[in-house]
Amino acid sequence: MIETPYLLFLGDAPDMLAAKVAQGIRDWRPENAIGQFRMEGCKADMNLPDMTLAEAKAAGARTLVIGVANRGGVISAAWKKVLVEALEEGFDLASGLHNLLRDEPDLKAVAEATGRRLHDVRVPSVQYPIANGEKRTGKRCLAVGTDCSVGKMYTAMAMDRDMKQRGLKSSFRATGQTGILITGEGVPLDAVIADFMAGSVEWLTPGNDPDHWDMIEGQGSLFHVSYSGVTMALIHGGQPDALILSHEPTREHMRGLPGYKLPSLEMLRDTALPLARVANPACEVVGVSVNTQHMGEDEAQSYLAEVEARMGLPATDPYRFGAAKLVDALVALG
């Protein structure tokens, strides 16, 4: 578990896109983001107070989170200077970079000398069990996508926020690097060893109050040949009571796979639901989440209306138009 609140390290981000981890934290857990640390030339801005390490420390920040992608696969000398200073100032460090903090001898040595922790959220820190398939108490919701990167995490985040605003019991359960950095805990599922994937999801979503919902972050897609095994493990390890179908209508082929067309929402429903019912016979598809970022407002609204009519399910873009419809559907499930 990563200690909050955070100071967000934006480094020398060349643009906003490079700082999407910081953006996720700012959007979904603003209470975790006390300020931002920007180096010379930084082109990203989270509209948070710019702080020095000392100022952030005084304001109560516990962890410096690397909220930006690094260039060229190395942690630069300029970054290093800040990271070492942060450890000396008493911050833990947290990172989702492919280059692990722990693999940098200087960071490792300073962390040991100062008693600070290096959180590399890309690699598991837990010995997960093999899944036992036993029915757990409490409820679980999982978004499954026609493709990767269609908004499954944002859907779960938006539903979790809406649930909490209604005073309902909900926990967002992170299964990827960004989600883990946003919430401070979770399972880096794509880095888990095959035999333990479903078990890690069981571990992440343990038995809970009967009226508590886990909003599980989805990964991959049953139709994406590179990552479908990860999705399968989420469906069986998560034993969801409710599935949300997630889609991005303007995509011309599966992400990174030019020869592969996206399936229809009907195909996704008819594939995912029977598989989910292996682990939870009561599972239902309750709604559709559409990523409309590449559509105008009218186009988006008419697309959603068409989907609702065709699928007989509530459909929304939870980031753009709110998640209320999807949460209503969960509540109706009882």
Residues that bind a copy of itself (CB under 8 A): 130-135, 189-195, 197-199, 222-223, 225-233, 235-237, 239, 254, 256-257, 259-260, 263, 271, 274-275, 278-279
* Nearest Cα to Cα of residue 201 among 192, 211, 210, 213: 192
Could you tell me the smallest distance in angstroms from the CB atom of residue 224 to a copy of itself? 8
Cβ-based nearer residue to a copy of itself, 168 or 273:
273
Cβ-based nearer residue to a copy of itself, 11 or 176:
176
CA 256/CA 226 separation, integer angstroms: 9
Could you tell me the smallest distance in angstroms from the CB atom of residue 196 to a copy of itself? 9
CB atoms within 10 A of CB 62: 18
Radius of gyration over every alpha carbon of the chain, rounded to an integer in angstroms: 20
DSSP state of 30: G
In Å, how far are 34, 163, 201, 243, 284 from 211, measured between CA atoms? 32, 12, 20, 17, 17
Cβ-based nearer residue to a copy of itself, 135 or 310:
135
Cβ-based nearer residue to a copy of itself, 11 or 188:
188
Could you tell me the smallest distance in angstroms from the CB atom of residue 282 to a copy of itself? 14
* Tokens found for residue 309: 């009519």
CA 169/CA 214 separation, integer angstroms: 9
Cβ-based nearer residue to a copy of itself, 35 or 263:
263
Could you tell me the smallest distance in angstroms from the CB atom of residue 228 to a copy of itself? 5
Contact criterion met (CB below 8 Å) for 44 and 38: yes
Could you tell me the smallest distance in angstroms from the CB atom of residue 184 to a copy of itself? 22
Cis check: omega of the bond before 240, within 30 degrees of 0: no
Could you tell me the smallest distance in angstroms from the CB atom of residue 321 to a copy of itself? 31
Cβ-based nearer residue to a copy of itself, 58 or 278:
278
Cβ-based nearer residue to a copy of itself, 3 or 190:
190
* Nearest Cα to Cα of residue 63 among 102, 27, 37, 98: 37
CA 247/CA 166 separation, integer angstroms: 26
Cβ-based nearer residue to a copy of itself, 112 or 195:
195
Cβ-based nearer residue to a copy of itself, 227 or 319:
227
Could you tell me the smallest distance in angstroms from the CB atom of residue 319 to a copy of itself? 26
What is the phi/psi pair of residue 33, to 5°? -110, 100
Could you tell me the smallest distance in angstroms from the CB atom of residue 191 to a copy of itself? 6
In Å, how far are 153, 165, 184 from 145, measured between CA atoms? 10, 26, 24
Could you tell me the smallest distance in angstroms from the CB atom of residue 8 to a copy of itself? 26
CB atoms within 10 A of CB 176: 24
DSSP state of 195: G
In the three-class reduction of DSSP (H, G, I as helix; E, B as strand; rest coil), residue 198 is classed as: helix
